[in-house]
Chain A
Amino acid sequence: MSRDTAWPQQERTGRPTLLEVRHVKRDFAKASGEALAVLDGVNFEVRQGEIIGLLGRSGSGKSTLLRIAAGLLPPTSGEVLFHGQPVDGPPRGVSMVFQSFALFPWLTVQENVELGLEALGVDTPERRRRALQAIDLIGLDGFENAYPRELSGGMRQRVGFARALVMHPDLLLMDEPFSALDVLTAETLRTDLVDLWMEDRLPVGAVLIVTHNIEEAVLLCDRILIFSSNPGRVAAQVRITLPHPRNRQDPRFRKVVDDVYARMTRRSPAQLEGEGEGGASPLALQPVSTNIMAGMLEAVAGEPWNGRADLPDLARDHQLEADEMVQLGEALQLLGFADMKDGDLHLTDAGMAFAGMETDARKDLFAQQLIEHVPLVRMIHQELEQRADHRVPAAKFRAELEDAMSENYAEQTLNTAVSWGRYAELFSYDEQAEFFSLDDPE
Chain B
Amino acid sequence: MITQPFLGRRWFPNVWDIVAFALLVAIMVSIAMGARDAAAPLEALRSPPVTTDPAHLPYYALRTTLRMLAAMAASLAFTMAFGALCIRSRKLAMVLEPAVDILQSVPVLGFLTFTITFFLGLFPGQIIGAEFAAVFAIFTSQAWNMALSFLQSARNTPRDLEEAAASLQLSAWQKFWRLTVPFAMPGLVWNMMMSMSGGWFFIVASEALTVGDQHIILPGVGSYLARAVDEGNLHAVGYATLTMIVVILIYDQVLFRPLTAWADKFRMTGDGGDAAEAPGAWLLDFFRRTRVLRAIVAPAGGLLRQLGQLRLDGGPGRRRRIMPQLPPGIARMLDLLWMVVVVVGALWASWLIISFIRVTLAPADFVEAIRLGCFTFLRVMAVVILASIFWTPIGVWIGMRPWVAVRAQPIVQFAAAFPANLLFPVVVAGIVAFHGNPNIWLTVLMALGAQWYILFNVIAGASAIPGDLREAGRSLSLRGALRWRTLILPGILPYYVTGALTAAGGAWNASIVAEIAQWGSVKLVAAGLGSYIAQASEAGDLPRVVLGVTVMSLFVLALNRVLWLPLRGWIERRFRL
Contact = CB atoms under 8 A, between A and B. Distances in A.
A351 interface: no
B161 A89 contact: no
Contacts of B161: 102, 104
Interface string A67-97: 1001111101000000000001110101110
A89 B167 CA distance: 9
Nearest to B168: A116
A149 B269 contact: yes
Question: For A27, A70, A118, A148, which residue has the most chain B Cβ atoms within 10 angstroms?
Answer: A118
Nearest to B270: A149
B325 A74 contact: yes
A175 B507 CA distance: 52
A76 B323 CA distance: 11
A106 B167 contact: no
Contacts of B178: 104, 107, 115
B265 interface: yes
B166 interface: yes
Given A73-B322, A432-B574, A120 B160 contact: no
Contacts of B568: none
Interface in B296-340: 309, 311, 315-316, 319-325, 328
A100 interface: yes
A105 interface: yes
Interface in B146-188: 158, 160-161, 163-164, 166-171, 174, 178-179, 182, 185
Interface in B340-367: none
Nearest to B574: A432
B573 interface: yes
Contacts of B574: 432
A103 B165 CA distance: 10
Interface string A97-114: 011111111110000000
B267 interface: yes
Interface residues of A, number: 38
B268 interface: yes
A118 to B, nearest CB: 6
Contacts of A14: none
Contacts of B322: 71-74, 88-89
A229 to B, nearest CB: 22
Contact of A102 (B164, B320, B324): B164
B235 to A, nearest CB: 50
A105 B166 contact: no
A115 B182 CA distance: 15
A92 B169 contact: yes
B327 to A, nearest CB: 11
B324 A98 contact: no
A89 B574 CA distance: 44
Contacts of A116: 168-169
B266 interface: yes
Contacts of A33: 328
A408 to B, nearest CB: 15
A119 B269 contact: no
Interface string A115-159: 110111100000000000000000000000001110000000000
Given A72-B167, A89-B319, A105 B267 contact: yes
Contacts of A149: 269
Nearest to A27: B325
Which residue of B171, B178, B267, B573 has the most chain A CB atoms within 10 A of its CB atom? Answer: B178
Q: For the complex, would chain A's binding face be called helix, strand, loop or mixed by DSSP majority? A: loop
A205 to B, nearest CB: 16
Contacts of A67: 163
B264 to A, nearest CB: 10
Contacts of B182: 104, 106
B316 A119 contact: yes
Contact of B316 (A88, A106, A120, A432): A120
Contacts of B311: 119, 121
A88 B266 CA distance: 32
A119 B163 contact: no
A103 B269 CA distance: 11
Interface string B124-147: 000000000000000000000000
Contacts of A98: 160, 163-164
B160 A102 contact: yes
Contacts of B319: 89-90, 92
A163 B165 CA distance: 12
B160 A100 contact: yes
A376 B267 CA distance: 44
Contacts of A104: 161, 164, 178-179, 182
Contacts of B321: 88-89
Contacts of A72: 163, 166-167, 322
Contacts of A115: 168, 170, 178
Most buried by B among A100, A102, A149: A102
Nearest to A122: B316
Contact of A96 (B158, B164, B267, B328): B164
A104 B168 CA distance: 12
Q: Which of A99, A115, A119, A167 has the most CB of B within 10 A?
A: A119
A38 to B, nearest CB: 13
Nearest to A26: B325
21 contacts: A67-B163, A71-B166, A71-B167, A73-B322, A74-B323, A74-B324, A88-B321, A90-B168, A96-B164, A98-B160, A99-B160, A100-B158, A100-B160, A104-B182, A107-B178, A116-B168, A118-B174, A119-B170, A119-B316, A121-B311, A121-B315
Closest 10 CB pairs of A and B: A102-B160, A116-B168, A102-B164, A149-B269, A89-B321, A96-B167, A106-B182, A119-B170, A100-B160, A106-B266
Interface of B: 158, 160-161, 163-164, 166-171, 174, 178-179, 182, 185, 265-269, 309, 311, 315-316, 319-325, 328, 573-574
